[in-house]
Amino acid sequence: MSARFLTGADLLGARCHPAKHALTDGEAARLLPLVPAWSLENGKLCRTFGFLNYYRTMAFANALAYLSHAEDHHPEMTVTYKNCTVRYDTHSVNDGRGGLSDNDFICAAKADALFAQLDKAGA
């Protein structure tokens, strides 16, 4: 399914869907440049977002939780005073063994947009 995403805007405009099949390593490698601040670590799509203080960190974490609920695709988040590390993977793919799906890249693009919006607003 990842062939339909050619730009970060394509990811941003997409919605998550029930995923059964994992992306191949090649598909994941092709999508990774569309979310350039993210990296692949231990089979997960990861990024650490930095903030000025705890209030801004929590504002982002809460907004991302809301966004994740709306997409029905939930990340692992580690929140500290000035950082929120987000890790995406899809538990339902590979017959329940997990892996990456389009949903991980869709949500990464949406998390980036959320971060840019909060940063612009000075939240």
pLDDT in tens, 51-101: 999 999 999 999 999 999 999 999 999 999 999 999 999 999 988 889 999
Q: Where are the domains of the chain?
A: 2-121
Q: What is the pLDDT of residue 122?
A: 66
What average pLDDT does the structure give for the chain?
93
- Percentage, residues of the chain above pLDDT 70: 94
The predicted model scores a pTM of 0.92
With a cut of 90, say whether residue 118 has pLDDT above it: no
User: Stretch 35-42: mean pLDDT, rounded?
Assistant: 97
CATH for 2-121? 3.30.1360.20
Summarize the confidence of residues 4-19 as an average pLDDT.
90
Look at residue 96 in the predicted model and tell me its pLDDT: 85
87 to each of 3, 4, 15, 70, how far by Cα in Å?
A: 23, 23, 18, 17
